[in-house]
Structure formats: structure tokens, C-alpha cells
Structure 1
Amino acid sequence: MHRRRRTALVLSAVIVAAAPLLTACGSDAHPGAAAIVGGQRITVAQLQNRVNEVRQAQRSAVADETQYQQIVARTSTLTRDTLHQMVLDRVLEHAADSAGVKVTRREVQQLRSEMEQRTGGAKALETNWLNQFGVPPQRLDENLRLQLKAQKLAERLGTDTSRPDFWKALSKASDELDIDLNPRYGSWDSRQPSRVEAKTPWLKDVSAVS
């Protein structure tokens, strides 16, 4: 099996916050926007829709309300973490596009098929990605496409996703996109493309997921 298909990377939505949520309500520069990335807005409504997708999937996956409330308590920073993921998706897309990296639908389906075989089927894979990474079933193909883009970008750079050259490419893309977060969701450090209070890497080697 090709190395790119043996090693799947996931955009982790499980971020451990190193600082408390900023309580500012935003400013005139962010009317209705959770973030501005490359001059394009991620609206508060878009962010909330993504959060709702995760919550609905979590509720459907458990048997009773008590279990669901326990999950909610464990993922209390879901809104910030989801925005973090949405912004980083765009950073990766920009870096990959700049490098001429392309991913086909066939490649995504092949990776998904391989992951389903390893995890015990389509439902098991969807449950695994939801529980471990906060990715709802309807976003799974999109997430796997980004994993392949990250892997291909690293290969194009002659490195891997854990090495400085890969992160330099993401930092450069972050600078070019001139990212501006609404203060209520934190701030952004383009030297390391993540919210400054986030200390968990957004890319994880999940080759051992089963």
C-alpha cells in the first residue's frame, strides 16, 4: 500500500485550550463575522451551522440524554475548536493550491474504502471520526480530501507533515491570507498557523486508528 494511503492525517477538532476564552464581543471590523480569511468571511451563522452538525451527530450516536450531556461537557470548547478547524482548512487549501497540489474524487474514495476496511465498515469509520476528531458523517469525505492534500503538499515540499518545511508553507499561506479572527474567538499567530491559545497540533497521524 502506498505510504500516502497508509498514513491518514486528520484535522483535529479536539483542541486543548491553554488560555481562557476571550470575552470581547467583537468590533466594527467583524459585523456578523467569526473570521475573515483572504478577504472572505466565515460568518457566525456558518460557524454555528458547523457546530450544530457535530452536536446533531453526537446526539444521534448515543442512547440517552445523560450520555449526550456528558459528551457536551467533554467538548465544551467546540465552537472555538470548529472555527479553528475551518480557518486551518482554508490555510491548507491555499498552501496546496499555491504548490499546484490536486486531489481527485477517486483518490478520496480509495482512501475512504481503505479506512473503512481497517475500521470495520462505513458506520464504524464515521463513528470513529466523530468521536475522536469531531468530524460529522457528512463532512467525512471533505476531511479525507484535506488529509490527502496535506500529505501531497508535504511530498511536494520533500518533507512530511511533522517537519519545519511543511509548517513554514502553512505559515506563509497564513500570512498571505491575512487572517483576522473576531476577538470573541481568540486571536491568530501567523508564525504558527493556529489560535494562539491552542497547544494541540491540528494534524495527527492516525494510522493506528482501528
Structure 2
Amino acid sequence: MHRRRRTALVLTAAIAAAAPLLTACGNDAHPGAAAVVGGERITVAQLQERVGEVRAAQRAAVTDQAQYAQAVNRTGTLARDTLHSMVLDRVLHRAAEDAGVAVTRREVQRMRAGLEQQAGGFKALEATWLQQYGIPPRRLDENLRLQLEAQKLARKLGTDTTRPAFWKALSEASEKLDVDLNPRYGAWDVRRNGRVDARTPWIREVTAPDTRPM
């Protein structure tokens, strides 16, 4: 389980603390898009929906408001981390496709069954993936498919997911996809295969909606 958890941690954006709301003045290069990957938009609405799924799962997993508040505080950068994960998932999938790697539903079910047995049941597994990786129960199978893609891609390359050869393949896929993030969420670093904060003077970080005219 330790090896699989480590892989999930590498490939799923970490959940950390306290990110403020972001507002921006000026025109976005891709209005309404949080990112464009391979010419396809990840819209702000899609990102917000994914964040909402995590928040709803967190709320359902705790018994009182104080516990929920603690969970929110631990995952304050959730929007940025979720976008990072959504982009990296597409990059990984492209790298796997380029290498001729595919994952079947049966393989996902087999992996899930093994993890459930080790975790002590499906509820325990869902709780672990939510708490440690920010993956809500409804996205668990989707995430396991990506973990399998990563493992099979690494084997195809004769390496593992911690080695430069694996990340080089992802960098090549990232370049082909021409990842473009909305500056309010940062920028995409092809070499690091990750989101980095971009300094843009026309973006302000605020803790409540800004009602001043643009």
C-alpha cells in the first residue's frame, strides 16, 4: 500500500492550507477558462464543480462544524491544487497514449479491491483518499485508473514513477499539449510538470469579493 500511496501523492496535487479568493482586472487570454490543455478548455465552472465535490465530501465525512472548518483550513489552496491535478491528469494520459499504454476497467476494479482489503473496507479507502489526496469518493476509480496508467507507463519505459525518465515522458507530453493556465491560477512549468505561482500585478488576492470598479 505504501508504494501505491506514494504514487498517488506524487500524481495528485497536495492539499494544503488557506488560499484566498482571487479577482482579476483586465482581459484573460481565454475568458472563462481556468486552463487550456491540448486546445481543450478546463472551464472555471468545471474547476469549481470539482472543488465543490471535495468540499461536499469533506462536509459529509465530519460530524460537526468545527471539524469541517479544520478540514477547510487544511485544504485552503484547494482550487489551485485541484487545477494542477486536472492538468497533470491530462498530461499523464497523453504520455500513456503516446507510449501505447492502456488501462482496462477490470484492472481498475482489481486494484480497488486490493486497496479496499488493505484499508479495511471501501469506506476506509474512500476516507483515506479524501483526507490524504483530496480525492472525493466519486472520483476514486478515476484516480486509480490514473495511478495504473502511471505504473504501466513507467514499466513500459523501464523505470519507475520517481525516476527522471518517467517525468521526461510527461514533460514531452506537456509540451505537445501546450498547457496554458489562466494567470490567476499561476503558470505551468513544463520541466517540473507542475503549476507555479505567476506574479501578475493586475491580480489582487482578497478575502471577500471586491466591489470596486475595474
TM-score bracket for this pair, using the shorter chain length: 0.7 to 0.9
**Residue 117 of structure 2 aligns with which residue?**
117
Query: Map of 1:156-171 to 2, 5 A cutoff?
Result: 156-171=156-171
Per the TM alignment, residue 83 of structure 1 is displaced from its structure 2 partner at its CA by: 0.2
Per the TM alignment, residue 28 of structure 1 is displaced from its structure 2 partner at its CA by: 3.6
In the alignment, is residue 34 of structure 1 matched against residue 34 of structure 2? yes
Structure 2 distance, partners of 1:6, 1:133, is 14
Computing the radius of gyration over CA atoms, which structure comes out larger, 1 or 2?
Answer: 2
Structure 2 distance, partners of 1:141, 1:92, is 16
Q: 1:15 to 1:121 in 2, by over 3 A?
A: closer
Secondary structure at the residue paired with 1:108? Answer: helix
**Residue 60 of structure 2 aligns with which residue?**
60
**Residue 96 of structure 1 aligns with which residue?**
96
Secondary structure at the residue paired with 1:27? Answer: coil
Q: CA contact under 8 A between 1:108 and 1:145: conserved in structure 2?
A: yes
Per the TM alignment, residue 128 of structure 1 is displaced from its structure 2 partner at its CA by: 0.5
Point out which structure has higher relative CO (alpha carbons under 8 A, 6+ apart). Answer: 1
Q: 1:25 to 1:46 in 2, by over 3 A?
A: farther
Q: CA contact under 8 A between 1:14 and 1:81: conserved in structure 2?
A: yes
Per the TM alignment, residue 15 of structure 1 is displaced from its structure 2 partner at its CA by: 5.0
**Residue 176 of structure 1 aligns with which residue?**
176
**Residue 106 of structure 1 aligns with which residue?**
106
Report Cα offsets for 1:121-162 as digits up to 9, x if no partner.
Answer: 000000010000000000000000000000000000011011
Report Cα offsets for 1:102-137 as digits up to 9, x if no partner.
Answer: 100000000000000000000000001000000000
The number of equivalent residue pairs is 193
Secondary structure at the residue paired with 1:100? Answer: coil
Structure 1 distance, partners of 2:100, 2:144, is 18
Q: CA contact under 8 A between 1:171 and 1:190: conserved in structure 2?
A: yes
Q: CA contact under 8 A between 1:26 and 1:183: conserved in structure 2?
A: no
Structure 1 distance, partners of 2:65, 2:91, is 37
Secondary structure at the residue paired with 2:13? Answer: coil
The one-letter amino acid of 2:101's match is V
Per the TM alignment, residue 30 of structure 1 is displaced from its structure 2 partner at its CA by: 1.7
What TM-score, normalized by structure 1, do the two folds share? 0.86
**Residue 133 of structure 1 aligns with which residue?**
133
The one-letter amino acid of 1:42's match is I
Query: Map of 1:13-32 to 2, 5 A cutoff?
Result: 13-14=13-14, 24=24, 27-32=27-32
Compute the RMSD of aligned alpha carbons.
2.2
Percent identity between matched residues is: 69
What TM-score, normalized by structure 2, do the two folds share? 0.84
Structure 2 distance, partners of 1:71, 1:194, is 24
In the alignment, is residue 191 of structure 1 matched against residue 196 of structure 2? no
Per the TM alignment, residue 12 of structure 1 is displaced from its structure 2 partner at its CA by: 2.4
Q: CA contact under 8 A between 2:15 and 2:74: conserved in structure 1?
A: no
**Residue 43 of structure 2 aligns with which residue?**
43
Structure 1 distance, partners of 2:188, 2:25, is 16
Gaps of 5+ in 1: 198-210
The one-letter amino acid of 1:95's match is A
Query: Map of 1:67-86 to 2, 5 A cutoff?
Result: 67-86=67-86
Per the TM alignment, residue 48 of structure 1 is displaced from its structure 2 partner at its CA by: 0.3
Per the TM alignment, residue 25 of structure 1 is displaced from its structure 2 partner at its CA by: 5.1
Structure 2 distance, partners of 1:50, 1:144, is 17
